[in-house]
Amino acid sequence: MDKKLFVTGGTGRLGIRFVHEALDKGYKVTALVRDIAKAHDVFQEMNVELILGDLSSVSQDVLRDAMRGKDVVHIAAVVDFRASAEHLRASNVEGTRKVVEAAEAEHVVRLVHMSSTGIYHHPTKLPIDESAVPTPMAGYGLTKLEAERVLEQSNLDYVMIRAPAVYGPGFDEGFRMVVDWIKASKMPIIGNGKNRVPLIHVDDVVQALVLALENRNVHRDAFIVTSGEELTQEQAYAIVAKKLGVSVPAKHVPVALAYVLVFVDWLKGLFGSKRKLLKLYVDFLAEDRVFDITKARTQLKYEPKNPLEKGLDGLV
């Protein structure tokens, strides 16, 4: 029987990697894309059916036709931490609602949803697992949690994948900025550096999405996935520095000062400068967060293949 998929966000950073993997596994892929020219360039002669549209404006009829008789992998989302709350909600919540409503109408058998560990911040206990009460801090995490609630209130058989900061080819912000600052000898250690920083390579996220799609023994559930490492901020920087052949960051700045610098950067943004330092970046680097991926390992058979040292190959 043909394996057919409808994928949202097919030409996004994660979507591109996922579509290539799905094609390699013999799936026939239909992808919702916002830029047909980019899609043709990315997929070239590959057999991908392209549907032009944005979740904010595409009609339910187009969505239903595109996903009819297929499983659905919903990746499309706004991850830009500079985006307004309204823009984040329109894409991450209402876009998900539109996908879910079309999938319900078409009686889709399996929907895999890309979520985020951004729904967990300032945890009351470590490590964090799927039983932890979500504590999102900002617009992105709040909207990803609300998107999960949309799925939970549906009648679909869904699986949600919650991942931390993703890095790898195509991911030019977030941890990639840290790599660039270490290369330029401009990256300080925030606080004492002993806090743990969760990461995941894009290829391990793709692996998790495929497992969620193909494992039909799990139903209406969520899984946390990471690199499987418990690297401190200091350890992560040391691995990057060694890979780059540069000095390991040694200068420490207090966490409070890092937030002051965020505020200064925000003031510059009022006068037209592009903001480079965001509060969420400091949160990510300074918080102590570690995740338990036992559930994904045991139920999805997920096993991360890209520890940071390996994952940096081709990136530095």
pLDDT for position 130? 98
Q: How far is 37 from 154, CA to CA, in rounded Å? A: 34
How confident is residue 269, by pLDDT bands cut at 50, 70 and 90?
low
CB atoms within 10 A of CB 161: 25
pLDDT for position 78? 86
What torsion do the CA atoms of 275, 279, 280, 282 make, to the nearest 10 degrees?
Answer: 110
Q: How far is 50 from 29, CA to CA, in rounded Å? A: 9
Residue 282 or 233, more confident: 233
Per-residue pLDDT at 304 exceeds 90: yes
Residue 270 or 198, more confident: 198
Q: What element of type H or E holds 141? A: helix 139-152
Of 289, 311, 285, 284, residue with least CA distance to 201: 311
pLDDT for position 262? 59
pLDDT digits (tens, 9 = 90+) for 2-57: 799 999 999 999 999 999 999 999 999 999 998 888 898 988 888 999 999 999 88
Residue ranges of the domains in the chain?
3-168+197-229+289-307
How confident is residue 301, by pLDDT bands cut at 50, 70 and 90?
very high
Per-residue pLDDT at 220 exceeds 50: yes
Which two structure tokens, joined as six digits, stand for 284?
């990510």
- Residue range 269-293: mean pLDDT, rounded: 73
Tell whether pTM > 0.85.
yes
- Residue range 110-116: mean pLDDT, rounded: 98
How confident is residue 275, by pLDDT bands cut at 50, 70 and 90?
very low
Average pLDDT, the chain: 91
3-168+197-229+289-307: CATH number: 3.40.50.720
- Residue range 105-129: mean pLDDT, rounded: 95
